[in-house]
C-alpha cells in the first residue's frame, strides 16, 4: 500500500489534478484521493493542498518525491525485469514522435503483422528515459542527449543532422530561427551551438512539425531534424545547410534494461528498429 501511495503521488505531481492522475492510473478520482490520504496518514504529514482545480504539493511532498522518486522507479524497473514475457504479453515501445514517424512507420507496420502484442507510446526523451528505468516501457527510442547517469543499455544508432527550413532562398546563416524547446535537457547542447554563432532563438516550440510548418508559411527560418524533413516530404528547395551548423546534430538511441534483451521478442523488436534506422541513413 505504501508503494501504491508513492506511485500515486509521483503521478499527481506530474499531472496536477486528481482526475488526470486517475485517468493515467486507470482508477477513479476518489481512489486517487483515498491513496493520498492513506499515504499522509502513514507518514504523519500533509502532502497536498487544494488550489482551485489543481493540487498543490507541500514542501514535505516535494522532499519525499526528490528523495524517494528515483529509488521508486528503480524498484519498479527491477520488478519489471523479473516478469516473464510470453507470446501474448504486451511489449511497450516508447518513442520520440519525430522518430517513429520519420523512421519506423513502415517497419512497424510490417512488424505488427508478425507480432500484434506491441503498444507504442510517444513522449519527449526525459519521459522515455524515466519510463524505461521504471519498467513502464520495455524499449525506448529517443532523440537528444541522455542523462549523465543511467542504469540501462543505450545503443547509439546515429547522429541525426539538422536542416534550416524556410520558404524563401537563404544565402547566409539566419540570425534568428524558430527552434524546439531548449529547456528540454535532451536539447540543451543545441543552445550552446546557436549562441556560439550568434543565432537568437526566435520562438521555442514543443513540436518540430509546428516549427517546420511556420517556416514553410514564411514566418521565420526553423531548425528541423532530418526525420521531420522526411516525414513532411519537404522539398529540397526549402532545405538549407550551413557549414557553421555541421556540428549541430542530435544522437538517436535505443534504450532498454539489460534483462529485457533476454526476451527473444524484445530482442527481435530492438533489431528491427536498428535495421530500419540503418536503412534510412
| 50-61 residue pLDDT tens | 887 788 999 999
Predicted local confidence at residue 73, as pLDDT:
74
More confident residue, 175 or 83: 175
CA distances from 211 to 203, 206, 224 (A): 9, 9, 7
Is the pLDDT confidence value at 237 over 80? Answer: yes
Measure the CA–CA gap between 7 and 95, rounded to whole angstroms. 22
Q: What is the pTM of this model?
A: 0.74
Measure the CA–CA gap between 68 and 110, rounded to whole angstroms. 41
| 81-93 residue pLDDT tens | 666 666 678 889 9
Q: Which three cell numbers stand for residue 104?
A: 519506423
Do residues 105 and 232 lie in contact, with contact meaning Cβ atoms separated by under 8 Å?
no
Average pLDDT over residues 29-52: 89
Is the pLDDT confidence value at 26 over 80? Answer: no
Position 242 confidence tier, pLDDT thresholds 50, 70, 90: very high
Please provide the average confidence, as pLDDT, over all residues in the chain. 88
Amino acid at each position: 500500500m505504501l508503494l501504491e501511495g508513492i506511485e500515486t503521488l509521483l503521478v499527481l505531481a506530474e499531472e496536477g489534478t486528481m482526475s488526470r492522475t486517475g485517468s493515467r492510473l486507470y482508477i477513479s478520482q476518489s481512489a486517487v484521493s483515498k491513496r493520498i490520504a492513506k499515504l499522509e496518514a502513514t507518514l504523519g504529514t500533509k502532502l497536498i493542498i487544494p488550489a482551485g482545480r489543481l493540487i498543490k504539493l507541500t514542501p514535505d511532498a516535494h522532499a519525499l518525491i526528490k528523495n524517494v522518486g528515483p529509488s521508486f522507479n528503480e524498484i519498479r524497473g527491477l520488478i519489471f525485469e523479473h516478469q516473464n514475457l510470453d507470446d501474448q504479453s504486451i511489449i511497450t515501445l516508447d518513442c520520440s514522435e519525430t522518430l517513429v514517424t520519420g523512421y519506423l512507420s513502415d517497419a512497424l507496420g510490417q512488424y505488427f503483422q508478425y507480432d500484434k502484442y506491441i503498444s507504442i507510446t510517444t513522449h519527449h526523451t526525459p519521459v522515455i528515459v524515466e519510463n524505461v528505468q521504471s519498467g513502464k516501457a520495455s524499449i525506448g527510442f529517443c532523440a537528444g542527449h541522455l542523462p549523465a547517469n543511467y542504469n540501462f543499455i543505450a545503443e547509439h544508432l546515429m547522429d541525426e543532422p539538422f536542416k534550416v527550413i524556410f520558404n524563401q532562398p537563404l544565402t547566409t546563416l539566419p540570425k534568428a530561427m524558430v527552434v524546439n524547446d531548449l529547456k528540454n535537457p535532451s536539447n540543451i547542447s543545441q543552445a550552446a551551438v546557436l549562441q556560439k554563432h550568434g543565432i537568437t532563438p526566435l520562438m521555442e516550440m514543443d513540436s518540430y512539425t509546428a516549427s517546420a510548418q511556420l517556416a514553410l508559411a514564411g514566418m521565420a527560418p526553423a531548425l528541423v531534424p532530418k526525420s521531420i524533413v522526411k516525414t513532411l516530404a519537404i522539398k529540397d528547395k526549402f532545405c538549407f545547410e550551413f557549414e557553421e551548423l555541421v556540428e549541430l546534430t542530435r544522437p538517436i538511441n535505443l534504450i532498454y534494461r539489460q534483462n529485457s534483451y533476454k526476451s527473444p521478442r524484445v530482442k527481435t523488436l530492438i533489431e528491427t528498429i536498428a535495421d530500419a534506422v540503418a536503412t534510412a541513413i
